[in-house]
Amino acid sequence: MSKILSYILFIGFVVGAGLLAGLTNAPGDWYQSLNKPGFNPPSWLFGPVWTTLYVLIGIAGARIWQRAPKSAAMQLWFAQMALNLMWSPAFFGLENPELALAVIAGMLLTIIAFMTKARSIDRISALLFIPYLAWVAFASVLNLSIAWLN
């Protein structure tokens, strides 16, 4: 597979899957009725942030795929992606912040593990996950706060 095609496929997959997960599990009246902490970001911020992160996740995935497609790093990339796509259905679809907290905790650990394994294969891929790690750490605190307040 050519490098450009792998970037297109990975970015397209991640952005498309993320968009699908978000659109099929959109926040509704239930979410609006929840008590939220004062640091809860405005709703309009989530779309641009996640789109940017999904592009970075796709680039990192393509880079690892090109260098070590059967590596532990690649397996962790797919694992974090699966957990990422499970969070919205758990939180919004099932209206279950506690289940979503378990999912996001697993995602956070898998992101860190990916970064650790990817660093020796392609340092740039590990670095591309820094904003993702920061956002998911923040989202974990937000998820925990919502579970606690409700």
Taking only the tens place, the pLDDT of each residue in 60-117 is 999 999 999 999 999 999 999 999 999 999 999 999 999 999 999 999 999 999 999 9
Taking only the tens place, the pLDDT of each residue in 26-66 is 888 999 999 999 999 999 999 999 999 999 999 999 999 99
Asked if residue 144 lies in contact with residue 101, where contact means CB atoms within 8 angstroms, the answer is yes
pLDDT of residue 26: 87
CA-CA distance, 63 to 123, in Å (whole number)? Answer: 10
pLDDT of residue 23: 87
pLDDT of residue 148: 97
Burial class (CB in 10 A: 0-12, 13-18, 19+), 89: middle
Q: How far is CA 112 from CA 8, 75, 130, in A?
A: 25, 13, 9
Taking the CB of residue 150, how many other CB atoms lie within 10 A of it? Answer: 11
- Residue 1, pLDDT > 80, answer no
Taking only the tens place, the pLDDT of each residue in 110-142 is 999 999 999 999 999 999 999 999 999 999 999
* 14-34 average pLDDT score: 93
Q: How far is CA 7 from CA 49, 51, 70, 85, 109, in A?
A: 20, 15, 17, 20, 25
Asked if residue 44 lies in contact with residue 126, where contact means CB atoms within 8 angstroms, the answer is no
pLDDT of residue 21: 93
Mention every residue, 6+ apart, whose C-beta is less than 8 A from residue 40.
142, 146
Q: pTM higher than 0.85 for the full model? A: yes
pLDDT of residue 16: 96
